């Protein structure tokens, strides 16, 4: 995985880009959705191997899971803005797998589970994979993770965030 900070900042940026009203609940749910797929690490405790469709980076990282989760959240909480909620939650969940597929380690991401159990990486894999345990995060490895995420996740998100804020301010001025 990328770190939970990397996943969260992407979800935050997606919400900022798509939601003009900046619903706090939606931002919170987007961040939860971006972290949620890694709950699958508990499957290691049940002896489910990495490569299994329900193993780490398996079903919870798939496009189908993002779809089911976003439809569920949208139908329960989306009220009048269903398309917006669906888009934010779907993209926030899916981008978890997309970031993972750009990391330097682990196995690939099962985007197409249950239809295809293959695991995928993108050709670009400069994000250093984050350790699974918190204790190991506070190490030289953790520091390298932070550096790579600053460069390849935080910086692009920050540029998008500044750009979109300026565009929206400009649009408000014209009103």
For binding to Zn ion (CB under 5 A), which residues are involved? 1, 38, 100
Are 18 and 87 in contact, with CB atoms under 8 Å apart? Answer: yes
Query: Of 5 and 77, which CB lies nearer to Zn ion in the complex structure?
Result: 5
User: Can you list the positions of beta strands (E) in 82-167?
Assistant: none
Are 69 and 85 in contact, with CB atoms under 8 Å apart? Answer: no
Residue among 105, 111, 122, 146 at smallest CA distance from 4? 146
Q: How far is the CB of 52 from Zn ion (least distance, A)?
A: 15
Q: How far is the CB of 64 from Zn ion (least distance, A)?
A: 16
User: Residue 91 and residue 157: Cα distance in Å, rounded?
Assistant: 14
Q: How far is the CB of 66 from Zn ion (least distance, A)?
A: 12
Query: Of 100 and 149, which CB lies nearer to Zn ion in the complex structure?
Result: 100
User: Residue 94 and residue 40: Cα distance in Å, rounded?
Assistant: 15
Q: How far is the CB of 103 from Zn ion (least distance, A)?
A: 9
Place of tokens 């996943």: 7
Residue nearest to Zn ion (CB): 1
Query: Of 62 and 84, which CB lies nearer to Zn ion in the complex structure?
Result: 62
User: Residue 27 and residue 37: Cα distance in Å, rounded?
Assistant: 17
């Amino acid at each position: 995985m990328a770190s939970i900070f990397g996943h969260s900042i992407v979800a935050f940026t997606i919400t900022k880009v798509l939601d003009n009203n900046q619903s706090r609940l939606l931002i919170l749910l987007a961040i939860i959705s971006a972290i949620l797929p890694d709950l699958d690490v508990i499957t290691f405790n049940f002896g489910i191997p990495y490569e299994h469709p329900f193993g780490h980076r398996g079903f919870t990282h798939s496009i189908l899971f993002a779809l089911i989760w976003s439809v569920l959240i949208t139908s329960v909480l989306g009220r009048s803005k269903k398309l917006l909620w669906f888009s934010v939650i779907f993209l926030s969940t899916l981008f978890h797998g997309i970031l993972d597929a750009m990391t330097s380690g682990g196995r690939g991401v099962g985007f197409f589970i249950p239809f295809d159990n293959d695991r995928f990486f993108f050709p670009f894999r400069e994000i250093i994979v984050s350790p699974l345990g918190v204790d190991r995060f506070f190490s030289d490895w953790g520091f390298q993770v932070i550096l790579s995420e600053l460069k390849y996740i935080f910086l692009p998100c920050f540029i998008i965030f500044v750009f979109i804020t300026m565009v929206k301010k400009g649009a408000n001025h014209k009103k």
